[in-house]
């Protein structure tokens, strides 16, 4: 097992955004210079796949939020948003 090679890949993945993008787009090319076993390559592939799924879910959630806009907060009659009663005003501040 090539622990040193895996450490190098993980370190570079964390620190180098270009390497991260290359791993996302062409993992076989990005990992060509590393002495990794098939099992290690499978682990990295699974990690990259989970990362892609996670990013897609986040992007979908963000686009859904953006599509909704501020519709989730109803406007009051004056056209503004209702005043929040949080945090509650202590009674000694009320006249």
* Residue 27, pLDDT above cutoff 70: yes
Residue listed under structure tokens 């509650």: 88
Per-residue H/E/C for the chain: CCHHHHHHHHHHHHHCHHHHHHHHHCHHHHCCCCCCCHHHHHHHHHHHHHHHHHHHHHHHHHHHHHHHCCCCCCCCCCCCCCCCCCCCCCHHHCC
What are the pLDDT digits (tens) for 29-78? 888 888 888 888 888 888 888 887 777 777 887 887 777 765 555 555 55
Domain borders along the chain are 3-67
- The pTM score is 0.52
Distance CA 31, CA 20 (A): 11
């Amino acid at each position: 097992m090539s622990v040193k090679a895996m450490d190098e890949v993980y370190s570079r993945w964390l620190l180098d955004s270009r390497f991260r993008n290359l791993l996302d787009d062409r993992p076989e090319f990005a990992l060509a210079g590393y002495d990794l076993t098939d099992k290690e390559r499978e682990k990295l592939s699974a990690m990259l796949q989970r990362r892609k799924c996670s990013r897609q879910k986040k992007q979908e959630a963000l686009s859904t939020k953006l599509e909704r806009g501020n519709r989730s907060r109803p406007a009051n009659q004056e056209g503004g948003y209702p005043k929040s009663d949080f945090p509650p005003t202590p009674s000694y501040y009320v006249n």
